[in-house]
Amino acid sequence: MSQAEEAKPTVLVVDDVEANLDILSAALGQDYQVSAALDGRSALEAVLEAPPDLILLDIMMPVMDGYEVCRRLKADQRFNAIPIIFLTALTEVENKTKGLALGAVDYITKPFEIAEVRARVDTHLKLRQAQARLEHQNQLLKDYARLRDEVERMTRHDLKNPLSAVINVPAMLMEEPNLTDDQRTLLHMLQESGTRMLHLINSSLDLYKMEIGRYQLNPEAVESVRLVRQIWAEMRELIHAKRLELILLVAGRPAQANDTLWVSGEEMLIYSLLANLIKNALEASPPNEGITITMDEGPLNLVRIHNQGEVPKEVKDRFFAKFATAGKKGGTGLGTYTARLIAQTLGGAVAMASSAQRGTLLTVSLPPAQPEPGREAAPLPRIPEVPARSDGIQTVCLGQTSPDQPSPTPAPPGPGGEMGVGILVVDDYSNMRRLTKSALRRMGYNNLFEASHGQEALQVLAGQRIGLVISDVNMPIMNGVELLRAVRADPRQADLPFILITGEADHETVGAAAQARVTDYVLKPYSPDSLRIKITKALRPANIPRMPADAT
């Protein structure tokens, strides 16, 4: 049998009149594989041996009529999905309804109209194929749901146990009195990264449970002013990069150190809710403008977040919809969707109003709560500040341990002086810059500079002698590939060694970077040894550019 014949749908024709079998076989044989049976028992045996895709079944047959054949097939789970079309000369309504009640999908009345037979067979085969696809998709969804539940169980147990050590051990080690400042910084970075990882794990699992209505809320009193301040501190680099002015008002006046606003919920959820909306406001705000957050008590406590930007028209009507995004490179469109879902889970709501004249106002309403007697808001964790230059550009030498420590004098690149080459590390995540800093210093490189996005990096390159750029790909304002293109466009830096760091080396990014003549790639997470190999290769004497005399 040929592959074409094997691909044809199969049709079983059951009729005790051989002439009818010949007519139907001839009419359908060109498009389908047709088999025949002269009585009900033979039909059941044929189905048992090779289940067809569709059955044309005569009603009036001796020994076992079509109704009995249909009843037996529909009672068997192996065959009850096979569509059955009755062939009959009976025209009474009760005969047709009896067959339909047994599970038949249609009737064809004798004498046959060949065009009608072909049309009905084709229609019901297509419906059956569509039904089979839906059943397959439903099974995949069920399998996915089981897999998701299993991954959740593994995540909560197998990942959270070691992650607890990642978070708690650094805190215990930081109590040791003989640690250096650099060691304390690394421990703090490890603790903060572990906390962020735990937040990501919880957020992804909790979001899924909220979507399917299975999230079990355990509300408690949460102090939200502290969370807003913490979120601002953690987003300080984006704030500095866009030179935004931050205003926090509580009860209509500038916030004081002891101000509180207690809401009912879970601290991690409320943090995620506020962080998503505040980040959205920071990214949407025009540079050099103000972000105002007002917090007020009421029947529902309110948090209002205002920025001067207008929501793009293409997403204004679906601002809180899943995957709605516009104008953000690498944006997932999940931030505002997640915020609304969390607010609803907490018994609150989120609303948005936006115009070119008034900017954008996000209003969060959450149930109020009373803290337990004697309970105070937990103190903010210590978050290292990012030193800023007097011109507002937060570009500092990575070797500095404090803003007051002088920067080391750059050593000129060249043979014999590779360890003193100026290296610029560009990443919007300060902990990644600290990690790269520590790795580079342990390799012996001390003439280090940093920037939090591409435009900031270009200003460093304009004012410092840099022999190597190590840049993240995904960054705000100007990403790593855009920075690479800008560097290559400058004749003085056209051959500057340039290493890109990325967590996802997709074909589009790799192709764009290769076209811009990237020197090398480093994939996250990376080991110090892999970074050392890439840097050593990039800084071979033949690869270190000759700096023009006027490059200062």
> pLDDT tens, 398-442?
233 333 333 333 333 433 345 678 999 998 887 778 878 788 888
Q: Is the pLDDT of residue 375 over 70?
A: no
- Return the minimum-mean-pLDDT range out of 1-5, 58-62, 144-148, 325-329: 1-5
DSSP codes of every residue in 489-523: HSGGGTT--EEEEES---HHHHHHHHHTT--EEEE
pLDDT, average across residues 280-286:
89
Q: Is the pLDDT of residue 196 over 90?
A: no
Q: Which residue has the tokens 């919920």?
A: 265
Chain centroid to CA 196: 16
Question: What local confidence, expressed as pLDDT, does residue 415 receive?
Answer: 36
Question: What local confidence, expressed as pLDDT, does residue 264 receive?
Answer: 93
DSSP codes of every residue in 197-225: HHHHHHHHHHHHHHHTT------EEEEHH
Question: What local confidence, expressed as pLDDT, does residue 233 receive?
Answer: 81
- Return the minimum-mean-pLDDT range out of 248-252, 368-372, 462-466: 368-372
Question: What local confidence, expressed as pLDDT, does residue 541 receive?
Answer: 60
Question: What local confidence, expressed as pLDDT, does residue 401 receive?
Answer: 30
Chain segment 205-219, per-residue pLDDT in tens: 677 778 878 788 888
- Return the minimum-mean-pLDDT range out of 29-33, 91-95, 336-340, 471-475: 91-95
Contact of 473 with 522, CB cutoff 8 Å: no
Q: Is the pLDDT of residue 544 over 90?
A: no
Q: What is the dihedral of CA 175, 179, 180, 185, to 10 degrees?
A: -40
Question: What local confidence, expressed as pLDDT, does residue 374 receive?
Answer: 61
Spell out the domains of the chain, with CATH numbers in brackets: 3-112 (3.40.50.2300), 219-366 (3.30.565.10), 418-538 (3.40.50.2300)
- Return the minimum-mean-pLDDT range out of 40-44, 176-180, 395-399, 540-544: 395-399
Q: Report the predicted TM-score, pTM, of the whole model to 2 decimal places.
A: 0.52
pLDDT, average across residues 249-260:
90
Identify the band that residue 24 occupies on the pLDDT scale cut at 50, 70 and 90: very high
Burial of 390: CB neighbours in 10 Å, binned 0-12, 13-18, 19+: exposed
Q: Is the pLDDT of residue 153 over 90?
A: no
Nearest in space to 162 (alpha carbons), one of 207, 187, 197? 197
Please, what sign has the CA dihedral across residues 188, 190, 191, 197?
positive
Identify the band that residue 333 occupies on the pLDDT scale cut at 50, 70 and 90: low
Residue spans of alpha helices (H) in 374-449: 430-443
pLDDT, average across residues 134-147:
81
Contact of 26 with 34, CB cutoff 8 Å: no
Chain segment 484-501, per-residue pLDDT in tens: 999 999 998 888 999 998
DSSP codes of every residue in 68-97: HHHHHHHHSTTTTTS-EEEEES---HHHHH
Angle at 252 between CA 247 and CA 253, to 5 degrees: 60
Higher pLDDT: 362 or 242? It is 362
Q: Is the pLDDT of residue 222 over 50?
A: yes
